[in-house]
Each structure stands twice: as structure tokens, then as C-alpha cells.
């Protein structure tokens, strides 16, 4: 029997509520390994180009990896993929928790879901079988209600679910999917795809064994992490208060905290939206993922908004989007926004950014109270933001327009609204400032899903002389690179780091536990794959997996009509920052375009079009998947 995988792919046809199981061999698993790479394979082979992302011909993919089921900190993530309703290109989102392991124990490594159910259903996957359960009574209800009723109906509170709320049902273009109400597969609109297919949830429970090649080696790796985590700064901070304890004040002091829809880089009331403020008000503990001692996820409860703790609590991205970027200095507003986004299943980044964009339009006279249903949608009005979340989820009034995302709203409004949009490939910026961290400029422009911050390591820990520089020695990067740098050296740095983060996505490994500046370093990933599968692998093979993963997504986007023009950054980043220690800093457009040239050359992509060259596809062993 194969180690690290079952060799079974679940194929579901919602049109007639049937399923079959396809078996894959070792060649397939060693080429793709799981996660993002495997999902891209299915998007390229199971679906024609040009389909409507909210139509029945789109597919919805769930993937685990060859590491899933190994009790390793961070090896608990899963990938959801489809054609994105937001970008109309490659769509992908990951989450941690417990779903991936339970899905794999149910007997499958991945699922490919086609068609549209004739009425609302949830999928019940257990021990190699699938049942299609009526979800009519769950439709129109929030994610918490749905999960509770599914567990009640099936008589098992250990069942793991991925679920949508009203945002997904109503096909908000940036609707997300939640697992256990607290772990969010946030970006690209995967919740809208589930809603378009009449899938309310996927419930899994399994008792089938997951074979591993060397369980003792897995145990030793896990023991290494447990022994050393308290002495590792990143683990220590995350264990204390998640990413909110890590990012907010440091980014503010560095002048790279997105403020007022990315106009500025610092917030004069930042102390009101830190983890310490959360701890003094509505903090209610922390939770974790399968086999992970870090416990990096905060819980909020109570307060003036009666926050429900079943939906977890705010991490940095949500806090940044609904805090400094809206000039809101109320941590309880932020915590309530986190709850509502998980309850209704909305990506908190795109939801917050779309509201912040509307606030800037409002303050510049492009929107009035008549347009916004009487709401005073000015910067700093936290209650208005909370009201808008509800309106967006239900597509009520002005919320129906904001449900389209900032790029499409700007096209509808016209009159220069486009200059306030902070998005790439129609997906909004995450809460990181590219003018101060130039690696993020690369990440936002070149992520296949649109602006995304988890595309490569961030700049600051890798400046020359900083503590994380040696973590990149195994791939030949022997010197640090300045944060504000767009030279060929920075392009090389980004390319290699993008490969690493693509490896993490394909191995379904959490980037809080593994990778540069993490406790599990690069060669630990080699040991993990060997322990799970028995393959005599290497860092070279994994880096090629990362490059293959990135290029597969690029091939998919190319087939959907994307090219270099879609890697363009918005005008805001070529305007100077207005607040913070980097006031006046901006990107130079000509310099950035030249930096993109460097990237395409290093990736083996055509410089004029950004399309991968044929020989690069052969070199990565994926030429047979391309239709262009």
C-alpha cells in the first residue's frame, strides 16, 4: 500500500447526485503531491476554459496532501479551488483546522465536484462513501446554525464541516468558506462557488487508517517542534496572541500599516486596536489546529455587541481591514466584524477593503447618503461598517453593489472612482504596504489569485544582518535584501521565496510553522515528505514542485485570457504615503515594470506577455496540461 496517500480521488456529479472513485498512481502523487498543485491539475483537466464561474460548468475542488494525517504541527491545511467569481481566473483558498485529516480518514485524497444540485444539499462523506443530504431547511441560515444542525442530524459532534452562510448562498463574489466556524478559506470567492452549486456544506468523518512510511521519524519531528517552540520568536508571539499580537504595532512603527484605504502607513490610534486592547476587552482564549501546539487563533466573546465566541476572533488581516484601514479605533467593532464575516461567510479582507473603498468614494462626493441607504459611510464610522456587512451578505440595498467587490463597484460608479481601487486581478489588497515592503509589490502583482500577501516571505526579517537571513542559505540566498529594493537581486529573492510558499501550499503546510523564519526550516520539509511517503526526495525536488505549482496556476490564467497586463498594480501605489515614518514614499512605475521583466525572465516566461514559454512547461513536466 502507498504511504502518505490513499490513491483515491472522489468524483461527484451534482446534476444527478452520483459519484465515482478514480485511482491515481505514484507518478501523479509525486508530480503534484497535493494542495495547490493537485488542485491546479484538476482545474486544467476537468474543465473547459471560458466557463461561467457561477455556472454549473465550473468545478469545485478539495485537496489534501501526502503529509495530511501525519501528526506534524502545521500539516493540517486543505485547499479549495475553482474558477474565481471575483477575478474570473484561478481561484484558490486554504484553511487549517481538522477538516483535512478527517476528510482523508474518510478515504480520499481529493474531491472534484461538478454540476449543480437540483435543490440545496450537503455532502456527507464517511469511510469511502458519499450521501447527498437535503439541506433545504438549512438554506437561508448562517454557518453556525448549519453546522449545529448537521452534527445534530448525523448524531456526532466530532463531524468536521466546511460550510457557507448567506454570503455564499447569495453568491457575493468574495464569499468565503468556513471550517468549524473559525478556520476560514477566505479568498477568491470559493463560498460563492459552493452557493452556485447549491452546496450548503461538506461534512466528513472517517475511521480509515492513513499509512505513513516512518511513524517514528514523524514523532521525532513533532517532538523537535514541541521542544523548541517556546524559544522561537515567531511561535512565541503567535502563541501569545495570534497575528494581531505580531503585526499591528510593528507595522505601524515601520510606517507600513495600511491606513485610510492605503493612503497612509501609520494610524495615530493604533494602541486602541492591538492585541493588548483585545485582551483587556473581549478576549476569551485561543484555539488551534490538528497536532499544533502553537494555538495562534484568538477567540472573542461578549462586549457591547454580544460577540458569539463560536466564530473565533480577529486576526491581524481582519483587524487591519476593519480598523486602521477604515480609521476605526474600536477593537470591539473589529471583533464583531470578524464574527459577522464568519457567520455569513464573507472574506473579511475583501469585505473590509470594499467598504473602505466606498468610504473614500463617500468622502470625495462620489456617493451620497441617498446611495448608501441613509448610512453615513465616512471613515471612522465602525457601526456603519457593521451594518454594511449585513447588507452585503444579504445583497440588500447598497450592499448588493458592494457584494461585487471594489473593482466592479468602481466601474459602475465611474467619475474617477477607479483611482481609489486597491486591487489586482479584481481582488483587494491584504493588509500589507507594498511601498514600504517591495516584496509585497511583487506578491500583489504576481499572485495568480489577485493581490495576496501569502505569496512569499515578507521583507523585514531578511534585511542584511537580521535574524532570518540564514534560513535561506539552503537555497543559495546568502545575503539579505533591503525592503525597498526592486533590483534583479530582489526579483531573485522573490522567485525563490515564491517557490517555497508554493511548496507550502502544495504540501498543505502552515506557513506559521514551516518555511523561512519558522521553526520547521527548509530541510525539515524534505524530512517530512520522506517520513510520510518513503520517497528519497530532496530540497531540489521540492523547489521544483513550488515552481511547478506557480506555473500551473499561470497556465490556467493564460487559458482564461490573462497576460502581463493583468499583473498591473493600481495607481494608489504610485502615489506617496501620507502618514508614518515612510511619508512621501511611493513606487516608481517604470522601475517596477522593469522589475517584472526580471521576474518573467527568471521564471522562463515571455517578457512581453508574461506567458510561460513552451520549454519551461516541458522542463516542469506539465506541457501536456496546457491548451494554449
**Residue ranges covered by each domain of the chain:** 8-205, 219-427, 438-625
Q: Are 116 and 96 in contact (CB under 8 A)?
A: no
Q: Are 505 and 36 in contact (CB under 8 A)?
A: yes
Q: Are 82 and 190 in contact (CB under 8 A)?
A: yes
Domains 219-427 and 438-625 share a fold: no
Q: Please determine, looking at this structure, whether the domain spanning 438-625 carries the CATH number 1.10.599.10.
A: yes
DSSP-derived letter for residue 306 is T
Give percent of the chain above pLDDT 70: 99
Q: What kind and span of H or E run contains 424?
A: strand 423-424
What pLDDT does 2 receive?
83
Angstrom distance (rounded) from CA 441 to CA 572: 12
CATH superfamily of 8-205: Aldehyde ferredoxin oxidoreductase, N-terminal domain (3.60.9.10)
What pLDDT does 247 receive?
77
Q: Is 292 helix (H, G, I), strand (E, B) or coil?
A: coil
User: pLDDT (tens digit, 9 = 90+) per residue, 502-518?
Assistant: 999 999 999 999 999 99
Q: What kind and span of H or E run contains 110?
A: strand 110-114
Sign of CA dihedral 518, 491, 316, 427: negative
Q: Please determine, looking at this structure, whether the domain spanning 219-427 carries the CATH number 3.40.50.880.
A: no
Q: How many CA atoms lie within 13 A of 421 on its CB side?
A: 26
User: pLDDT (tens digit, 9 = 90+) per residue, 9-50?
Assistant: 999 999 999 999 999 999 999 999 999 999 999 999 999 999
pLDDT band at 317; cut points 50, 70, 90? very high
User: pLDDT (tens digit, 9 = 90+) per residue, 96-123?
Assistant: 999 999 999 999 999 999 999 999 999 9
Angstrom distance (rounded) from CA 556 to CA 41: 9
In the block, which residue shows the cell 479584481? 426
Angle between helices 438-446 and 589-603 in degrees, nearest 10: 60
Ramachandran assignment for 462, one of left (phi > 0), alpha (psi -120 to 50 degrees), beta (any other)? alpha
Q: Are 43 and 59 in contact (CB under 8 A)?
A: yes
What pLDDT does 246 receive?
84
Q: How many CA atoms lie within 13 A of 605 on its CB side?
A: 24
User: In residues, how long is the chain?
Assistant: 628
Q: What kind and span of H or E run contains 130?
A: strand 129-134
Residue 224 in grid coordinates: 523537535
pTM confidence score: 0.97
pLDDT band at 1; cut points 50, 70, 90? low
According to DSSP, the β-strands at 199-205 and 423-424 are unpaired
What pLDDT does 608 receive?
98
Closest CA to 111 of 207, 199, 1: 199
Q: Is the pLDDT of residue 626 over 70?
A: no
Closest CA to 237 of 162, 316, 329, 129: 316
Q: Are 406 and 321 in contact (CB under 8 A)?
A: no
Amino acid at each position: 500500500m502507498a504511504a502518505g496517500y490513499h490513491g483515491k480521488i472522489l468524483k461527484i456529479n451534482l446534476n444527478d447526485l452520483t459519484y465515482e472513485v478514480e485511482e491515481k498512481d505514484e507518478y501523479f502523487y509525486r508530480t503534484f503531491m497535493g494542495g495547490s498543485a493537485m488542485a491546479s491539475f484538476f482545474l486544467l483537466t476537468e474543465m473547459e476554459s471560458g466557463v461561467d464561474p457561477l455556472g454549473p460548468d465550473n468545478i469545485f475542488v478539495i485537496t489534501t496532501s501526502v503529509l495530511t494525517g501525519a501528526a506534524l504541527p502545521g500539516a493540517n491545511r486543505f485547499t479549495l479551488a475553482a474558477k474565481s467569481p471575483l477575478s474570473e481566473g484561478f481561484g484558490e483558498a486554504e484553511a487549517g483546522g481538522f477538516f483535512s485529516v478527517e476528510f482523508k480518514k474518510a478515504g480520499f485524497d481529493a474531491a472534484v465536484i461538478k454540476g449543480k444540485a437540483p435543490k440545496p444539499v450537503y455532502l456527507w462523506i464517511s469511510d469511502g462513501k458519499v450521501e447527498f443530504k437535503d439541506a433545504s431547511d438549512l438554506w437561508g441560515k448562517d454557518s453556525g446554525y448549519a453546522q449545529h444542525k448537521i452534527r445534530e442530524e448525523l448524531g456526532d459532534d466530532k463531524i468536521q464541516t466546511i460550510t457557507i452562510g448567506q454570503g455564499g448562498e447569495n453568491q457575493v463574489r468574495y464569499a468565503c468558506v468556513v471550517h468549524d466556524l473559525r478556520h476560514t478559506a477566505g479568498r477568491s470567492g470559493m463560498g460563492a462557488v459552493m452557493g452556485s452549486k447549491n452546496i450548503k456544506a461538506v461534512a466528513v468523518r472517517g475511521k480509515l487508517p492513513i499509512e505513513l512510511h516512518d511513524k517514528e521519524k514523524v514523532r521525532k519531528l513533532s517532538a523537535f517542534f514541541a521542544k523548541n517552540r517556546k524559544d522561537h520568536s515567531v511561535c512565541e508571539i503567535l502563541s501569545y496572541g495570534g497575528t494581531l499580537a505580531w503585526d499591528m504595532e510593528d507595522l505601524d512603527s515601520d510606517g507600513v500599516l495600511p491606513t485610510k484605504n492605503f493612503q497612509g502607513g501609520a494610524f495615530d490610534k493604533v494602541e486602541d486596536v492591538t492585541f493588548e486592547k483585545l485582551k483587556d476587552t473581549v478576549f476569551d482564549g485561543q484555539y488551534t489546529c490538528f497536532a499544533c501546539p502553537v494555538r495562534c487563533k484568538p477567540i472573542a466573546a461578549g462586549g457591547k455587541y454580544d460577540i458569539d465566541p463560536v466564530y473565533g476572533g480577529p486576526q491581524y488581516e481582519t483587524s487591519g481591514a476593519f480598523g486602521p484601514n477604515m480609521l476605526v479605533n474600536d477593537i470591539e467593532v473589529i471583533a464583531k466584524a470578524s464574527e459577522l464575516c464568519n457567520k455569513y461567510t464573507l472574506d473579511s479582507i475583501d469585505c473590509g477593503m470594499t467598504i473602505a473603498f466606498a468610504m473614500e468614494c463617500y468622502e470625495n462626493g462620489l456617493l451620497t447618503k441617498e446611495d448608501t441607504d441613509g448610512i453615513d459611510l465616512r471613515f471612522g464610522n465602525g457601526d456603519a461598517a457593521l451594518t454594511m456587512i449585513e447588507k452585503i451578505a444579504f445583497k440588500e440595498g447598497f450592499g448588493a453593489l458592494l457584494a461585487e467587490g471594489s473593482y466592479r463597484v468602481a466601474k459602475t460608479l465611474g467619475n474617477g472612482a477607479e483611482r481609489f481601487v486597491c486591487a489586482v486581478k479584481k481582488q483587494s489588497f491584504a493588509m500589507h504596504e507594498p511601498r514600504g515592503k517591495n516584496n509585497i509589490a511583487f506578491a500583489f502583482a504576481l499572485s495568480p489569485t489577485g493581490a495576496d500577501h501569502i505569496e512569499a516571505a515578507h521583507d523585514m526579517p531578511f534585511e542584511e544582518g537580521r535574524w532570518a537571513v540564514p534560513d535561506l542559505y539552503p537555497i543559495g540566498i546568502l545575503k539579505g535584501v533591503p525592503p525597498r529594493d526592486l533590483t534583479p537581486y530582489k526579483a531573485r529573492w522573490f522567485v525563490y521565496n515564491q517557490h517555497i510558499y508554493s511548496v507550502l501550499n502544495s504540501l498543505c503546510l502552515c506557513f506559521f510553522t514551516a518555511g523561512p523564519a519558522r521553526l520547521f526550516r527548509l530541510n525539515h520539509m524534505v524530512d517530512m515528505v520522506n517520513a510520510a511517503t518513503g520517497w528519497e526526495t530532496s530540497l531540489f525536488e521540492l523547489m521544483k514542485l513550488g515552481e511547478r505549482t506557480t506555473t500551473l496556476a499561470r497556465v490556467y490564467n493564460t487559458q482564461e485570457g490573462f497576460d502581463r497586463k493583468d499583473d498591473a498594480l493600481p495607481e494608489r501605489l504610485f502615489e506617496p504615503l501620507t502618514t508614518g515614518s515612510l511619508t512621501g514614499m511611493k513606487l516608481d512605475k517604470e522601475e517596477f515594470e522593469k522589475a517584472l521583466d526580471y521576474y518573467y525572465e527568471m521564471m522562463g516566461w515571455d517578457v512581453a506577455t508574461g506567458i510561460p514559454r513552451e520549454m519551461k512547461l516541458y522542463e516542469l513536466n506539465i506541457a501536456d496540461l496546457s491548451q494554449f
